[in-house]
Amino acid sequence: MLWRCQWTSRRCARMHTLRRLRFLSHVDLPLSSPAQSSICRAHASSSRENLRQIRQFADKKKLALTPDVVCSTLSSCPSDLIALRFFLWCAKLPDYFHDRRSFDHMVNVVVRLGNRYGTVSCIVGELENIGCAKKAQTFLLLLRIYWHGGLYELVLETFEQMARFGFTPNTFARNIWMDVLFKMGRVDVALEVLKQTQVPNFLSYNIALCNLCKVDEPSKIRDVIRSMLKNGFYPNIATLEMVLNAFVKKCRLVEATQVLTLMITMGGAVSVNAWSMLINGFCRLQRFDMAVYLLGKMGDSGCTPNVVTYTSLIKGFMESQMVNCALKILSIMESKGNAPDLVLCNVLIDCFCKNGRCDDALGIFISLSERNLVPDCYTICSLLTTLCRLRRFSLVPKSVIELDTEADLVLYNSRLSYFCKAGLPSRAVDLYDDLIDSGFTPDKYSFVGLLSGLCGARRIGEAINVYKGIVRSGSDLDGHVHTTIINGLIKVGRCHQAIRFFRKAIEEKYEVDVVSYTVAIRGLFRGGRGHDVIALYDEMKGVGISPDTQVYNMMISGFCKDKDAKMVTHILREMVDGRIVLSSNNFNRICSFLSRSHGTHLAFGLLIEMRDLGLFPAEENALCSHGLAPDARIGGDIHYLIPSSLSESNLSSDASCSEDMSDRAVSVG
């Protein structure tokens, strides 16, 4: 017998006494005799009525309990304690089992009882006062109710009270305890409970495996499976698929292959999902030889690959730049009668775009209507994002922008980004209004799109007011939002105001990043305040933000235009020390500057050092190898060392370099 009571005789005597004193619980209260009599009569009358309502079902032997009858009775019980007592009484009947609706109702009941009486022990004591003896079944049902309702702390308390009252939990109770420990994150304790369970059953191991798969513990999964097999239990196919997926997610494909072998050895039918998961795992690791081998084995076993299986292979080949192999797999799939679904079409559009084959991506998009497929938000976002990144706005079909698709916030933000980058700021502002009217709550990407649109439309006053409102609202902002308004002000020539905004962001400890500093440095140069750049540069490094290639090239560009040879030399030295590559435009600019300046021998030597370290753009290396010879005499005239192709007429990009750089830096999306 799995439930054992260590004090049976004493309990019987106590219950005999309780039956005699069932309705006299208030007899010892320090009240006057009339009050005592009144309370006892009221309590006895109430208890008799409650017991009569419960026992009427036993008297009507022809009444068959059904879930509907039980749920109706539970809902109409005069008190939560009576409802719990009735629930326990129904559970005693040999041919009745509570359904999910009953447990759902009882979760609210026990929560209210807990709020009223405080502890599980008190609830059990109140049940005893109305004739429900302390039995193992009472604790077990309370365990199930608390477990069903996710009341994990109360599960632990109930389990502890069971031991205190002398009951030894059976395997089912220990399984509940173990599952709760897993869900509370106490994995090692739960595994110890499993290890100490004297008579573990299939559910014991199955609960452990399911929970370990959710918390990504592949090593412990392996140990549990070994123990399970050692005790003569075999996981079912569904559990093994879950285990297989857990190993694949952690790229432990050796163990995943062993699980597949176990599934085949057990004689069960391996599903297409199991094969597809393992094939996908090998594709993610670019082990296409094994992926194709498994595809063949899958067919040999009588399992037919589906679109999901082929999608993993196609996506893997595409991401590895093996487009022809991917198209061959696609052709094989279609020849076997499998038509591409929307997920596969989205993968093809995304991968074609990333491989620079935008025309092929557009072809897939246009063919969706022929395949009776409706593009979703992911389809449009993928296409828009890539074409915007490549700045190929002319390829964006009008149908993509005006497509009547049920949009989500991500799609709205993608369209905002497109309108801002394509030079249609007014449409971006109108789209933001549509976003608000549709009931969406804008996020930081939405704010960036609105601010970019207002600044691009030269509605600067509105942009400033919107920015101040966003800041006052306390929204979760990052440096991108602050950078957008600063960049917008700089582009319309309001550099001093932009710097004031940047300084206020620093003082208020708003989140700013390296892009924010890049734009601020550009604003200082544009505002004729190049002498303040180094102070801002030192401040950036002081707060722990490392300058990137754009920052250094921005400063080289600005100091060359300011004809500050000392600062050009200083920045070149830092670029050499940090192994920062000089941009192509700056290479031309600095060569022109050196050819017209005197006293720049140190800067010229630094250029030679950069060339030797490979810090010139690749297209300039061959050009420099003749003009900047390692054995050049620094003391002589350096004009002859500058390549003749770098004439004044070829250096018309002074204004465009920093403009393009900052625009890329604060691009939306």
- Which pLDDT tens digit goes with each residue over 429-449? 888 888 888 888 888 888 888
> In angstroms, rounded to a whole number, what is the distance separating the alpha carbons of residues 498 and 536?
14
Residue 5 pLDDT > 70, yes or no?
A: no
- The CB-side HSE value for 133 (13 A sphere, CA atoms) comes to 14
> In angstroms, rounded to a whole number, what is the distance separating the alpha carbons of residues 161 and 507?
57
Q: What is the pLDDT of residues 9-36, one digit of tens each?
A: 333 433 433 343 333 333 332 333 333 3
Q: What is the pLDDT of residues 450-507, one digit of tens each?
A: 888 888 888 888 888 888 888 887 766 777 888 888 888 888 888 888 888 888 888 8
pLDDT at residue 599, as a whole number: 55
Which two three-digit tokens encode residue 151? Answer: 């009341």
Query: Is residue 306 very low, low, confident or very high in pLDDT (cuts 50, 70, 90)?
Result: very high
pLDDT at residue 612, as a whole number: 84
Instruction: Give the SS3 label for residue 101.
Output: helix
Q: Which of 253-262, 415-424, 649-658 has the lowest mean pLDDT?
A: 649-658
Residue 38 pLDDT > 70, yes or no?
A: no
CB 598 within 8 Å of CB 632: no
pLDDT at residue 613, as a whole number: 84
Percent of the chain whose pLDDT exceeds 70: 81
Average pLDDT of the residues in 132-136: 85
pLDDT at residue 187, as a whole number: 93
CB 83 within 8 Å of CB 104: no
Residue 92 pLDDT > 60, yes or no?
A: yes
**Percent helix, strand and coil across the chain, each to the nearest 5:** 70, 0, 30
- The residue type found at 667 is S
pLDDT at residue 458, as a whole number: 85
pLDDT at residue 52, as a whole number: 57
Crossing angle of helices 272-284 and 237-249, in 10° steps, is 10
- The residue type found at 504 is K
Q: Comparing 274 with 615, which gets the higher pLDDT?
A: 274
How would you class 495 by CB atoms within 10 Å of its CB: exposed for 0-12, middle for 13-18, buried for 19 or more? buried
pLDDT at residue 281, as a whole number: 94
What is the overall mean pLDDT for the chain?
Answer: 80
Decide: pTM greater than 0.75.
no
Average pLDDT of the residues in 292-318: 92
Q: Which of 397-406, 474-483, 658-667 has the lowest mean pLDDT?
A: 658-667
Residue 107 pLDDT > 90, yes or no?
A: yes
CB 142 within 8 Å of CB 110: yes
Residue 647 pLDDT > 50, yes or no?
A: no
Average pLDDT of the residues in 224-242: 92
User: Which residues fall within 8 angstroms of residue 570, CB to CB, at 6 or more apart?
Assistant: 534
> In angstroms, rounded to a whole number, what is the distance separating the alpha carbons of residues 134 and 167?
10
> In angstroms, rounded to a whole number, what is the distance separating the alpha carbons of residues 54 and 453?
71
Query: Is residue 618 very low, low, confident or very high in pLDDT (cuts 50, 70, 90)?
Result: low
pLDDT at residue 152, as a whole number: 92
pLDDT at residue 399, as a whole number: 65
pLDDT at residue 427, as a whole number: 84
> In angstroms, rounded to a whole number, what is the distance separating the alpha carbons of residues 278 and 244?
8
Q: Comparing 370 with 633, which gets the higher pLDDT?
A: 370
Q: What is the pLDDT of residues 242-280, one digit of tens each?
A: 999 999 999 899 999 999 999 988 887 889 999 999 999
